[in-house]
């Protein structure tokens, strides 16, 4: 009901009377008024005039009712330690696929290789629970699908050209817009869940902690509602993941966006650091690194640092 009220108010050119709203929604005027009161309490700027209601400002809020059809699968929090921890608990308790945990802030945001993910106000931080019918060694294909989904969405809906750094950072002009972290549990060979945690710099300034990062507001000069971004991502991503063949061509589709191929890179893993030229990504998502002696090393996990221009 709340999402429908917001949609009517957003689409209205003028004030909407209580009577119009109750007809549109098929509920009493008192019920409309109660929902308006709770939207106001949640932070939506709805002016109540003698003639009716008007939305004066749409705050950048994430609330379950902002995601019609997904209300029962999306858990929106103001502050958490890390959305990864909450999502892991939900996944172990058997939550449905595509359950999402969001947070406006994280006090213990986690990055790859044990790093901290600074989660300042205005960024989009969430974890999505997947239950793909995949053998464990192919579970990382899901993060390639997530990166590709963002690249397509940002290009199509906002005209932003994104480069994908192996395995799954989003770069804009070599600056980091987003990072992803995945956690997987399997029973024997088969995956029981893969949780993908995504941090996207939206209306925040990430450069305070990460000088080489960038946010969408810094790129476009305009604030973008995080709800619109997340809803657009979930629509596209769920469609792909629900398709039994959605991952068949994922690496081939990912490569045109790749910012890592044919350039010198340093790969850092928990154990070692290796330098070479990133030559290709195989069908399982592993990076094929050409070493100085011309041999090819297959890298399954690691963080990648771009060294210089393409070779
Ligand atoms: C990286 O680039 O190092 C990965 C960053 C992943 C950050 C996201 S924010 C939402 C989710 N919760 C976390 O604690 N981390 C991921």
Q: Are residues 125 and 231 in the same domain?
A: yes
Sign of CA dihedral 292, 298, 303, 305: positive
pLDDT tens digits for 254-288?
A: 999 999 999 999 999 888 999 999 999 999 999 99
In the prediction, which pLDDT does 309 show? Answer: 59
Q: Are residues 114 and 197 in the same domain?
A: yes
Which of 198, 206, 215, 301 for mutating ligand 1's site (highest number of atoms within 8 Å of CB)? 198
88 within ligand 1 shell (Cβ under 6 A):
no
Total tally of structural domains belonging to the chain? 3
CATH of the domain at 286: 2.30.30.100
Q: Which residues in the chain land under pLDDT 70?
A: 309-311
Q: Are residues 33 and 78 in the same domain?
A: no
Tokens 């050209």 belong to residue: 161
In the prediction, which pLDDT does 56 show? Answer: 86
Distance 146 CA to ligand 1 centre (A): 13
Atom 16 of ligand 1: nearest residue by CA position: 197
Q: Are residues 138 and 246 in the same domain?
A: yes
CATH of the domain at 45: 1.10.10.10
Greatest Cα pair distance, the chain, in angstroms, is 79
Q: What stretches of the chain adopt beta strand conformation (E)? A: 45-49, 52-57, 74-80, 100-106, 124-130, 163-165, 169-172, 175-187, 190-200, 263-268, 273-281, 287-290, 296-299, 303-306
Name the packing angle between helices 141-158 and 226-242 (round to 10°). Answer: 130
Q: Are residues 70 and 205 in the same domain?
A: yes
In the prediction, which pLDDT does 7 show? Answer: 82
Tokens 């940002």 belong to residue: 154
Q: Is residue 311 part of a domain?
A: no
| Structural domain containing residue 38 | 2-57
pLDDT tens digits for 193-250?
A: 999 999 999 999 999 999 999 999 999 999 999 999 999 999 999 999 999 999 999 9
In the prediction, which pLDDT does 173 show? Answer: 95
Q: Are residues 35 and 96 in the same domain?
A: no
> What are the backbone dihedrals phi and psi of residue 33, each rounded to the nearest 5 degrees, phi first?
-60, -40
In the prediction, which pLDDT does 269 show? Answer: 86
Distance 105 CA to ligand 1 centre (A): 12
């Amino acid at each position: 009901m709340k999402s429908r009220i917001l949609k009517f108010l957003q689409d209205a050119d003028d004030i909407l009377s209580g009577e119009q709203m109750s007809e549109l929604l098929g509920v009493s005027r008192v019920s409309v008024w109660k929902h308006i009161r709770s939207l106001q309490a949640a932070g939506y700027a709805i002016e109540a005039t003698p003639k009716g209601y008007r939305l004066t400002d749409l705050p950048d809020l994430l609330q379950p009712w902002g995601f019609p059809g997904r209300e029962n699968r999306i858990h929106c929090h103001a502050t958490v330690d890390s959305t990864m921890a909450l999502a892991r608990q939900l996944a172990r308790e058997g939550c449905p696929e595509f359950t999402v945990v969001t947070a406006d802030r994280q006090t213990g945001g986690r990055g790859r290789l044990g790093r901290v993910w600074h989660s300042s106000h205005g960024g989009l931080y969430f974890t999505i629970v997947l239950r793909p019918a995949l053998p464990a060694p192919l579970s990382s294909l899901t993060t390639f699908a997530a990166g590709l989904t963002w690249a397509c969405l940002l290009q199509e809906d906002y005209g932003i050209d994104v480069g994908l750094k192996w395995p799954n950072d989003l770069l804009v002009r070599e600056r980091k817009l987003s990072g992803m972290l995945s956690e997987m549990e399997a029973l024997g060979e088969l995956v029981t869940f893969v949780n993908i945690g995504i941090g996207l710099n939206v209306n925040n300034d990430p450069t305070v902690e990460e000088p080489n990062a960038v946010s969408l507001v810094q790129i476009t000069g305009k604030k973008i509602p995080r709800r619109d971004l997340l809803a657009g991502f979930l629509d596209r991503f769920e469609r792909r993941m629900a398709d039994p063949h959605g991952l068949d061509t994922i690496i081939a589709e990912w490569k045109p966006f790749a910012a890592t191929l044919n350039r010198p890179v340093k790969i850092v893993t928990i154990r070692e650091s290796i330098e070479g030229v990133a030559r290709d990504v195989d069908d399982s998502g592993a990076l094929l690194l050409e070493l100085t002696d011309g041999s090819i090393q297959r890298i399954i996990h690691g963080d990648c640092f771009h060294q210089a221009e393409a070779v």
